[in-house]
Structure 1
């Protein structure tokens, strides 16, 4: 009986420590640093990049201005626009992620900076495409993305990706990041648009 009571008390404390699922700010931008590793047999590759990142729709721009990516979630289309004036469009498989998913599991909390520092909550959830397990880290007080790590197997190949965010502000300084030039971008009515494969961030559930 005492063991049962003790276990019940532990479960109650654990449940009480789980924060409520929060929703992310609807408009924000900042810097995103990405590291991605794909390996197949003895071969492996490492990609590291930084982006100016804006969310209200969804836009990524390489800091070297070589390309930018725009996602239109009303049309479920992703555009990749290069500095050479080329543009490709593809369908995206998942919807925008606005809140901690209902099926996410609370992993735990950490404090950055020690006593009195920033409290961060970690949540684990399944990403359907590519099929990986992702862990989101958000601030406890404002539900701002701090990082996301995804790992699993994509097209039979081991996959790992880490995104980290910094210098967050709650405004879009340059709304033109969402502009899609047409031409060269193909029409969103083009029936030949293919499914995007592994080109988008784990952020937003992609």
Structure 2
């Protein structure tokens, strides 16, 4: 069963600690973009550690209020106009209701931590925010590029009964979607709108502004 987890990333080494930027603001991402997400998740439950390591494609379309995540053998389509998601795996489709809106800007409750630079004098400049205020038992940070507000890295730690570490990096991001068919919902196997009355809500973790992952 595919489940929703927080966007996260194992942060790489930097040459400097975050520095306060008095001109920083809660920026907004481009309205359309796509690229690769590389995720690592560790969850401890009942004394057993489970680790997943995945590379996926993510497609973000705020103009049409939709997003899609594509991995090996599955596709997750999120329709934020209808607040419905569809997980399509091997010819089967599982619909879910969503409760959280699609975000375009860094949420106001994400507290600004500082600015830093990855990789050296000509490296990537990013602004970093805390996601601790998103939900109880959540600690973490997310980084966006300082010039065009592209999400880069996020680390989220769950401190509840089943502790977890979710990490993701966004790479090779482009400000476009070359193949809009990734948002298509096949009917069948997916149900029609009139068949969705009894669909259950999708559990949502509040640490992540963007993507849904398996």
TM over 0.5: yes
Note closer, same or farther for the CA distance 1:46–1:196 as it changes in structure 2 (3 Å cut).
Answer: same
Residue number in structure 1 paired with 2:67? 58
The root-mean-square deviation of aligned C-alpha atoms, in Å, is 2.4
User: Where in structure 2 are the equivalents of 1:29-178 lying within 5 Å?
Assistant: 29-56=34-61, 57-62=66-71, 64=72, 66-82=73-89, 84-125=90-131, 126-128=133-135, 132-153=138-159, 156-178=161-183
TM-score, normalization by structure 1 = 0.82
> Where in structure 1 do 4 or more consecutive aligned residues deviate above 6 Å?
none
Return the structure number with greater relative CO, CA threshold 8 A, min gap 6.
2
- Give the gaps of 5 or more residues in structure 2: 1-18
The DSSP-based 3-state class of the residue aligned with 2:104 is coil
Q: Which structure has the bigger radius of gyration? A: 1
Note closer, same or farther for the CA distance 1:191–1:131 as it changes in structure 2 (3 Å cut).
Answer: farther
Structure having the larger proportion of residues in helix:
1
Taking the aligned partners of 1:153 and 1:92, their CA distance within structure 2 comes to 24
- Give the gaps of 5 or more residues in structure 1: 1-13
Taking the aligned partners of 1:196 and 1:70, their CA distance within structure 2 comes to 13
Note closer, same or farther for the CA distance 1:16–1:68 as it changes in structure 2 (3 Å cut).
Answer: closer
TM-score, normalization by structure 2 = 0.79
Structure having the larger proportion of residues in strand:
1
Note closer, same or farther for the CA distance 1:199–1:181 as it changes in structure 2 (3 Å cut).
Answer: farther
Residue number in structure 2 paired with 1:202? 208
How many correspondences in the alignment?
188
Note closer, same or farther for the CA distance 1:106–1:76 as it changes in structure 2 (3 Å cut).
Answer: same
